[in-house]
Amino acid sequence: MYGKDILRISRRALLATTGAALAAGPLATALHVPKAFAQPKTLRIAAGEADGATGTLDPALSTADPDAARINLVFERLVVLDDTFSAAPQLATSWESNATGDEWTFKLQEGVKFHDGEPFSAKHVVYTFKRLLDPKTASPGASSMAAIDPAAITAVDDLTVRFKLKAATVEFPALIANRFTYILREGQPESELRTSGIGTGPFKVQKFVPGDDVSTYVKNESYWRAGLPKVDVVELRAIPEESARIAAIQSGQIDLCWDLGRAGVEELQKNPDVKVVTTRAPFVLTLSCWADTPPFDDVRVRQAMKYVVDREQMLQLVLRGLGNIGDDNPVAPWVQYALKTEPRARDVEKAKALLAEAGHPDGIDVELFTSETTPGFIEMATLYQAMASEAGIRVKLTKAPSSDYWSAVWLKQPFVCSSWSGRGADDALAAPYLSTSDWNETHWKRPEFDAFITEARATTDVAKRTELYQKAQQLLRDDGGAIISVFPDALGAVRANVSGWKLHPQQSTKDFSEVSIG
Amino acid sequence: MSKMVLTRLGMALISLLAVSAIIFWCVEFLPGDAAERILGRNATPESLALLREKLHLNLSAGERYLHWLTSLLSGDFGTSLVADRPVLDYIASRIANTALLSGFALILYIPISIGFGILTAIYRGRFTDHAISVIVLIFMCLPEFVIGILLISIFAIKLAWLPPLALIGSAQSFGQLVELMALPTITIVAAMSAYAVRMMRESLIEVLDSSYVLMARLKGLPKWRVLLFHALPNALGPAINITALNVAWMIGGVVVVEAVFEFPGIGRLMVDSISHKDVPVILAISIVMTGAYIVTNLVADLLVILLNPKLR
Amino acid sequence: MSGPQPVAKLEGLCVDYRGADGWSRAVDGVSFEIAPGEALGLAGESGSGKTTVAYSLMGEQRGASRIGGGRVLFQGRDIFSLPEKDLLALRGRSIGFVPQNPMASLTPSMKVGRQIGEMLRFHAVPAPQGVPARVVELLESVGIPNPAAAARRYPHELSGGQQQRVAIAMALACKPDLVILDEPTTGLDVTTQKRILDLLAGLKRETGVSMLYVSHDLASLAQICERVAVMQKGRLVEAAPTRSLFERPRHAYTRSLIAALPRIDVPPEGRLEPLAAPAQDALLEVDDLRISYARGGFLGLGRPSSGSDTVKGVSFTVSRGKTFALIGESGSGKSSIARAVAGLTAPRDGTIRFNGQPLPALARQRPMHLRQKIQIIFQNPDSSLNPRKSVRSILARPLRMFGTLDAAGREKRVIELLESVRLPASYAGRRPHQLSGGERQRVAIARALAAEPELIVCDEILSALDVSVQASVLQLLETLQRERGLTYLFISHDLAVVRWFARHIGVLSDGAFCEIGDTETTLSAPTSPYTVQLLEAVPRIDASPQIVT
């Protein structure tokens, strides 16, 4: 009744507009200037963790992943770790200790300038460390460096710094190669440190406002390493949604990203414009229980819980093969001082027997907390539940919200999923398992273990030290409350035209100085 | 009519006050506080205590609220606990972004909902009606993030016509801005217009069957004129009310769409602030959202009154 | 007849409608002619097909209908074979249309002047003084006071009569050759109706326009039309010049229609003379009743002032077993009084006494036995019967509320009630939409009877019914009154109906009685000028139309 005439014209118009719209698409693509050719050379990188208003450029307070990214662009450290987690030089060229290992002297690199032209010298190092250890700064990194006596950091001369330690620490250089010890420029007002720190790194801050979605950094023209960096501008943004990050790199909206999950990687591997970058990393995924709480307080129960794990299957199903097998030892086999053992094979019968011996012939009921906060947690927990059920370990899975997992669940529940970023042997053993550690997630207190560590730290002889660390690892593996079955590889992706980037296994270390485009 | 506007504005102020109080107390019940959020995993009891003192979190809840209220009355929205910036400054660009997105969406949404509403009403019962109605129904049922992800995989990845993420910080020209915001805009419009199309269809069908539309046709007027001047103004009422709800939804920041497209809007800022328990920001955003909602409804009511002389 | 070509001519028109069970013929072989300058009346009850005929003259097919045969010619051209463009040009320009319900037929969002103006603009009617001025002229010619201001009003800001005048102005704006009027005075007050009829007669005289006047009200047809055609169930049963049709109707149906007409001047056949008046026993006493709908004070919390009263202090008495009629036009307050008596509206002031006892204002405050004794029947059975319930459950509800019967007893009673309103027992299982308008009103009467009341308030119960149905419902009410001694408070605007039905009458104007008393004396010798006006406005069949020879 109505339609025929009233819209005879409109229908034609509709077809015409649709046609125009359809044509406009390809036309727009043809005219679209690819970002890569825009001048100047801009490297767009994306972090996988949300970078909200808590973002900071102050190394002493750096806790989040995007913070680490930006700090690595702007600052440098005395010492960095290589991928076996041994110390390598950066701003310090060489170091030596005294015979007892409680006094360390570092020789500094010559010819380094801060972004404002101020020459780099020992006084800046002294300033940085004193500030880091100052309780007023409230840095979370202060406790791990409690060994340093803040009053006894001295600038011997412009290019030499000496540290006196309260206790002998043989691995002192590795100890200070952490995310907090980037060297600041003395004299910069405290208020500027959060957003516009001046460092010696390959890039200068152009604009960083916490809470803004993108921060920009420009090339440091007088960077001390010649020929670097190879790009003019770096844009850093955070894209916490993994699917969004993958879409962005596939379409070329970003050039480089890390912190990818397994599923996304598979998709990217099929895309010719994108290269997937993997690095073996001692990132630890663990199921940790309190060794002082029943039923976990019996070592046989803890061992039974370790025997039910099919480690190869964990690797395949949780990590899709992108990783390495662990043997209930947080020190990865390729890291310095690692204990190389034959990974514990799955033995359900042995597990049942151990449980029976411990007085649980019908098995035990436990509650395992997991969350989406770290990739792999849920898969690992679910798989563990299935594996453990065969031996009579009935696991009840509780999924906790990710927003406050680390403050409300970790360290507060007796059996949780946990993770530790890749670190060297000492740190991997001490931070979670020393009986005095603030972060003793297994409540496991063994004076022998503590003694091994302490002694190892004081032993200057490398072979002896290795033996001590290995003994500690053996003890932890057999007696401890951590079930560590896999070490996930670190995964990242770059556009096909980007080269020179190595994904460092220590998550807080990111090196963009050698990246080039095209 | 001006009396009505004044009364509404008065009630708006009361609503804003009530909203701020309710939200403040609700947020209070969330576990943890901003200091814990900021320090995260690396929190030690000492660093927590220091930070809490710095942020005035050691005062009681009532004191904090009153303090906030009094500074609000002098125009100061306070400082973000987490970002350490004045709140207004901090949220201003986000509000602007969300407003821009809402504006684009509205520009697209109005012709689509009216147009498709008219089409389905005129061709009711025929193929066009069924086709459009089915599509509309599908969009009504699909959650926004599914629509968003679908659009990304088709238009951004397979066809590469549009960029997948609305990273508008890097837009250098207006054209680029439009390009970056195209997909989130379409997603929002797809989600919203479904309801409006159906509403438009129902009310237009009713109006087209009315005696006055018949009369207009019997006057010998051409059908387009009957539709435009006699039918539409009387059919738009319910559609406008639905649009008001939709616009309020948009202005509140469509968190899901913002997350999928990484759009720096006010929705995600709100969620982040809640997970950080950044109370001044939460309150400021709530006030803005409530205010926007009230204004939108007022405008819609005025429009309806304008269109329907019987209400004047 | 030979002479100038007829303006319109129907040749054996057949129109079919598609219903649930296939096509049914609504108009069956109707033929007639309208000569230039002639007004033809098309009479018939609802369902006779007269509206369909009127629309087909405009080339309009309503709903799912098709032309089953025959032709409609306008000035010699076959309307249904015209291309759309030509038909649009004809409509409005050469054929005007005055709709039934002007409130619903004028676009609510457009100012009245603009609605008229767009006709002038679209049909390119020359208006040397400019379209707005011409519009004002047109409004003046139809008797709208303050035409310039009225043109800037919206339809809802005008009264019913003014709206209809606007519609007439709109129809005549382009000086058409034929005007079709579809029940133009239905729903209007009797005095307004008279004025509109006068206006139409005058316009016809001045412009010589032909008319097709469709109505069920034979009396108003008689005022204007030179010839009248009668339709029954789709067929044209009789067509003759007006006077001869009324004086010597030939077809049986025409005769029955004329007989059913309530005549203000002639008592209906078969009516028994009222018995000698027994002692006046007052059943209902209303004293100084005041009702107001205004909200006074601040934000509606306060007492309204007396200036805004709808009902301004009425007092009357209803005698047991008799009928008291409240006559008035729309806005006079008669419905408000009815609702107050029934307990649906709380009066602002005044008392109502029932059987000597004061009655609480609202029904829910009244004790059950009092609620039972006063029942109300509403104007529109479509909206007063629950469409989702069967007749049985509609009738059973008051039985359950007020009676003590068990299920079997109720069933029996339902059948009895249906019989008492002359409906077959098989109707008990039907739903309201399966009944005709008259049947629905009977069910409403049965529902009122189910409670076994003493007083029934009838609020305009006949206005929505066809003439013949009105007559039968009135007869039913009369019989029930005689058999059971029921008392009625009968609200109406139709003097003709009320004259022979009510013992006492009160004429309401603007919320107060301008005349109250015994019906006979009041109507034969009215004292109030308003009553006189009302009486004169009632269309009479034997009034001669102003014919142009």
DSSP state letters, B148-181: HHHHIIIIIIIS--S-SS--GGG--SHHHHHHHH
pLDDT of amino acid A48: 84
Confidence check: pLDDT of A1 > 80: no
In a domain, B290, yes or no: no
Q: Which residues are CB-contacts of B246 (< 8 A; sequence separation ≥ 6)?
A: B109, B192, B195, B196
3-state SS class at C498? helix
Tens of pLDDT, residues A311-330: 999 999 998 888 999 999 99
pLDDT of amino acid C463: 80
Rounded distance between C-alpha atoms, residue A246 and residue C124, angstroms: 65
CATH number at residue B107: 1.10.3720.10
At A199, list the tokens: 């460092």
Domain count, chain B: 1
Mean pLDDT over each residue of chain B, to the nearest integer: 86
pLDDT of amino acid B15: 86
Rounded distance between C-alpha atoms, residue C352 and residue C288, angstroms: 9
Rounded distance between C-alpha atoms, residue C456 and residue C487, angstroms: 6
- Fill in the amino acid letter for C10: L
Q: Which residues are CB-contacts of B23 (< 8 A; sequence separation ≥ 6)?
A: B282, B283, B286
Interchain CB contact of A31 with B (< 8 Å): no
Q: Please tell me whether residues C90 and C117 are part of one structural domain.
A: no
Q: Please tell me whether residues C166 and C180 are part of one structural domain.
A: no
Rounded distance between C-alpha atoms, residue C284 and residue C160, angstroms: 34
**Closest C-alpha to A290, from A303, A302, A308:** A302
Tens of pLDDT, residues C405-432: 888 889 999 999 998 888 888 888 888 8
In a domain, C264, yes or no: no
Query: DSSP code of C465?
Result: S
In a domain, B136, yes or no: yes
Q: Which residues pair with A418 in a beta bridge?
A: A286
Q: Which residues pair with C495 in a beta bridge?
A: none
User: What pLDDT band is residue A415 in, cutting at 50, 70 and 90?
Assistant: very high
At A480, list the tokens: 């401890």
Rounded distance between C-alpha atoms, residue C522 and residue C506, angstroms: 9
Confidence check: pLDDT of B30 > 90: no
CB nearest A50 (choices: B164, B224, B272): B272
CA distance B143 to chain C (A): 37
Confidence check: pLDDT of C275 > 60: no
pLDDT of amino acid C307: 64
Give the C-alpha distances (Å, rounded to integers) separating A260 from A256, A263, A277, A505, B264: 11, 8, 10, 14, 22
Tens of pLDDT, residues B162-210: 888 888 877 778 888 899 999 999 999 998 888 899 999 999 999 998 8
- Fill in the amino acid letter for C22: G
Tens of pLDDT, residues A460-499: 788 999 999 999 999 999 999 999 999 999 889 999 999 9
Residue that wins the pLDDT comparison between A475 and B34: A475
Strands C323-328, C504-509: pairing is: parallel
User: What pLDDT band is residue C306 in, cutting at 50, 70 and 90?
Assistant: low
pLDDT of amino acid C268: 60
CA-based nearest residue in chain B for residue A235? B170
- Fill in the amino acid letter for A390: E
In a domain, B262, yes or no: yes
Rounded distance between C-alpha atoms, residue B22 and residue B16, angstroms: 10
User: What pLDDT band is residue B19 in, cutting at 50, 70 and 90?
Assistant: confident
User: Domain residues for B100?
Assistant: 88-279
| C408 burial via Cβ count (<10 Å: 0-12, 13-18, 19+) | exposed
At B213, list the tokens: 């539309």
Any chains having at least 3 CB pairs less than 8 A from chain A are: B
In a domain, B77, yes or no: no
Any chains having at least 3 CB pairs less than 8 A from chain C are: B
Contact C109 B233 (CB under 8 A): yes
Give the C-alpha distances (Å, rounded to integers) separating A56 from A415, B84, B85: 33, 11, 13
Q: Which residues pair with C546 in a beta bridge?
A: none
In a domain, B208, yes or no: yes
In a domain, C212, yes or no: yes
At C33, list the tokens: 């002619």
Phi-psi region of A148 (alpha: psi -120 to 50; beta: other; left: phi over 0): beta
Q: Please tell me whether residues C421 and C478 are part of one structural domain.
A: yes
In a domain, C544, yes or no: no
- Fill in the amino acid letter for A453: I
In chain A, what residues touch B80 (CB-CB under 8 Å)?
53, 211
Instruction: Let me know: does C343 contact C371? Beta carbons within 8 Å.
Output: yes
pLDDT of amino acid C303: 57
Any chains having at least 3 CB pairs less than 8 A from chain B are: A, C
User: What pLDDT band is residue C269 in, cutting at 50, 70 and 90?
Assistant: low
At B297, list the tokens: 């409804």
Contact B216 C107 (CB under 8 A): yes
Tens of pLDDT, residues A223-279: 999 888 999 999 999 888 888 889 899 988 899 999 888 878 888 888 899 999 988
Average pLDDT over residues C275-292: 76
At C53, list the tokens: 């005929």
Instruction: Provide the number of CB pairs (under 8 Å) joining chain A to chain B.
Output: 142
Contact A54 B276 (CB under 8 A): yes
Rounded distance between C-alpha atoms, residue A214 and residue A45, angstroms: 10
Contact B276 A53 (CB under 8 A): yes
In chain B, what residues touch C118 (CB-CB under 8 Å)?
219, 221, 225, 229
Predicted ipTM beyond 0.90: no
Tens of pLDDT, residues C168-215: 999 999 999 999 999 888 777 788 888 889 999 998 998 889 999 998
At C360, list the tokens: 């609480």
3-state SS class at C30? strand
CA angle C44, C47, C50 (to 5 degrees): 50
User: What pLDDT band is residue C278 in, cutting at 50, 70 and 90?
Assistant: low
Residue that wins the pLDDT comparison between C549 and B28: B28
Tens of pLDDT, residues B35-68: 776 666 666 777 778 778 777 777 788 888 888 8
Q: Which residues pair with A162 in a beta bridge?
A: A105, A154
Give the C-alpha distances (Å, rounded to integers) separating A169 from A166, A350, A461: 9, 41, 12
Mean pLDDT over each residue of chain C, to the nearest integer: 85
pLDDT of amino acid A505: 84
At B4, list the tokens: 């009505």
Strands C309-319, C282-292: pairing is: antiparallel
Instruction: Let me know: does A253 contact A246? Beta carbons within 8 Å.
Output: no
CATH number at residue C468: 3.40.50.300
- Percent of chain A exceeding pLDDT 70 equals 92
Q: Please tell me whether residues C390 and C519 are part of one structural domain.
A: yes
Rg (C-alpha) for chain B, rounded Å, is 24
**Closest C-alpha to A70, from A174, A176, A197:** A197
Tens of pLDDT, residues C56-114: 999 888 777 888 889 999 998 999 999 988 999 999 899 999 988 888 899 998 999 99
Rounded distance between C-alpha atoms, residue A445 and residue A256, angstroms: 43
Domains of chain A: 4-37 (no CATH), 43-53+203-280+490-517 (3.40.190.10), 76-190 (3.90.76.10), 284-488 (3.10.105.10)
Tens of pLDDT, residues A27-51: 444 444 444 445 678 899 998 887 7
CB nearest A251 (choices: B43, B93, B156): B156
CA-based nearest residue in chain A for residue B262? A239
**Closest C-alpha to B185, from B97, B116, B118, B290:** B97
CB nearest B164 (choices: A139, A210, A251): A251
Interchain CB contact of A34 with B (< 8 Å): no
Q: Please tell me whether residues C146 and C122 are part of one structural domain.
A: yes
Instruction: Let me know: does C465 contact C432? Beta carbons within 8 Å.
Output: no
Q: Which residues are CB-contacts of A319 (< 8 A; sequence separation ≥ 6)?
A: A262, A376, A486, A488, A489
Contact A7 B122 (CB under 8 A): yes
Distance from chain centroid for Cα A320? 20
Instruction: Let me know: does C407 contact C447? Beta carbons within 8 Å.
Output: no
Q: Please tell me whether residues C168 and C180 are part of one structural domain.
A: no
Domain count, chain C: 3
Q: Please tell me whether residues C150 and C180 are part of one structural domain.
A: no
In chain A, what residues touch B179 (CB-CB under 8 Å)?
28
Strands A160-165, A148-157: pairing is: antiparallel
Average pLDDT over residues A339-363: 91
Encode burial over B28-45: b for 16+ CB neighbours within 10 A, e otherwise.
Answer: eeeeebbbbbbbeebbbe
Confidence check: pLDDT of A26 > 50: no
In chain B, what residues touch A438 (CB-CB under 8 Å)?
44
Rounded distance between C-alpha atoms, residue B51 and residue B36, angstroms: 9
Strands C504-509, C282-292: pairing is: unpaired
Q: Which of B145-149, C279-283, C350-354 has the lowest mean pLDDT?
A: C279-283
pLDDT of amino acid A4: 41
Contact B220 C60 (CB under 8 A): no
Average pLDDT over residues B115-127: 92
How many CB atoms within 10 Å of residue C130?
A: 11
In a domain, C268, yes or no: no
User: Domain residues for C191?
Assistant: 1-94+176-259
Alpha carbon distance, N-terminus to C-terminus of chain C: 15
CB nearest A243 (choices: B50, B128, B149): B149
Contact A239 B262 (CB under 8 A): yes
- Fill in the amino acid letter for C123: H
Rounded distance between C-alpha atoms, residue C239 and residue C227, angstroms: 7
CB nearest A194 (choices: B84, B119, B260): B84
CB nearest B122 (choices: A3, A28, A237): A3
In a domain, C272, yes or no: no
pLDDT of amino acid A34: 47
Rounded distance between C-alpha atoms, residue A327 and residue A350, angstroms: 17
Instruction: Let me know: does A407 contact B276? Beta carbons within 8 Å.
Output: no
- Cis peptide preceding A229, ω within 30 of 0: yes
| A399 burial via Cβ count (<10 Å: 0-12, 13-18, 19+) | middle
Write out the H or E segment, with its range, that includes residue C309: strand C309-319
In a domain, B81, yes or no: no
Question: Is the whole model's pTM more than 0.80, yes or no?
Answer: no
Average pLDDT over residues B139-153: 90
Tens of pLDDT, residues C368-405: 888 889 999 998 887 889 988 999 999 999 998 887 88
Q: Is the dihedral of CA C212, C213, C215, C220 positive or negative?
A: negative
Q: Please tell me whether residues C332 and C451 are part of one structural domain.
A: yes
**Closest C-alpha to C511, from C340, C338, C312:** C312
Give the C-alpha distances (Å, rounded to integers) separating C138 from B78, B222, C37, C45, C141: 67, 23, 20, 33, 5
In a domain, B60, yes or no: no
